[in-house]
Amino acid sequence: MVGEGVLRECLLDPTVEQVLVINRKPGGVTHPKLTEIIHADFTNLSAIESRLRGYNACFFCLGISSVGVSADDYVRTTYDLTLAFARTMARLNPDMTFCYVSGAGTDSTERGNLRWARVKGKTENDLLKLPFRRAYMFRPGFLEPTPDLKNVKSYYRFVSWLLPVVKLFYANAGSTLAELGRAMIHAAEQGYDKPVLEVPDIVKAGKLP
């Protein structure tokens, strides 16, 4: 859902000239400025490296929930896969801005009680050490889906109406998916004043020109 929503904002933004999507299966989206590569193993990009050069930004939206997943599988997908992909991109495009979708509650100390938060924290910390031009970690909370997306989980359709109500009492509860996409575009094009963007930063950056 996040990847589809961010892609939509990139395709709508006139300042984004070209978009390359790397998927494990066809996403079903066509657009004059969109190219799609179907590739199964995100930890090994050697077969497609020649097609990955020359891009200004990478918006990394892949991720899984820790619910019902073994510790090893969660680390493998959240940390190992992400870092393998990012290291390749840094080597091929050192002038790139790398934007990683993490999550609210991520533990930068890597020492908290929640396993998923520690793993996300280590992932963020090690991404920030890579030799990109800039790197930003986005920590969205509850995301209000963009209407008409194909990959919205069914439960979102029943609870998305709650976000405006919750924000009346807790302003930092979440943002729209569109705001997240626009915030990532803004960070890639103009930068942001800190490397980790919490929900208020996402909302702010998502509204900047």
Each residue of 55-94: pLDDT tens digit?
A: 999 999 999 889 889 999 999 999 999 999 999 999 999 9
* Angstrom distance (rounded) from CA 185 to CA 76: 28
- pTM of the prediction? 0.91
* Angstrom distance (rounded) from CA 114 to CA 203: 26
Contact of 180 with 3, CB cutoff 8 Å: no
Residue 25 has pLDDT above 70, yes or no: yes
* Angstrom distance (rounded) from CA 175 to CA 178: 8
Tell me 1's DSSP state. -
Contact of 34 with 21, CB cutoff 8 Å: yes
CATH of range 2-207; options 3.90.1150.10, 3.40.30.10, 3.10.20.30, 3.40.50.720: 3.40.50.720
Q: Look up tokens 């100390």; give the residue.
A: 109
**Three-state secondary-structure class, residue 133:** coil
Query: Token digits for 144?
Result: 């209000």
Name the percent of the chain lying above pLDDT 70.
Answer: 90
Nearest to 62 by CA among 50, 49, 40, 78: 78
Query: What is the pLDDT averaged over residues 30-46?
Result: 96
Query: What is the pLDDT averaged over residues 40-62?
Result: 96
Max Cα distance, the chain (Å): 50
* Angstrom distance (rounded) from CA 19 to CA 65: 26
Nearest to 139 by CA among 173, 110, 101: 101
Query: Could you read off the pLDDT of 164-207 as tens digits, one per residue?
Result: 666 666 667 788 899 999 999 999 999 999 999 999 999 999 99
Query: Token digits for 153?
Result: 């989980």
- H or E segment at 29? none
Residue 148: its pLDDT value, please? 77
Nearest to 99 by CA among 50, 62, 65, 64: 62
Residue 165: its pLDDT value, please? 67
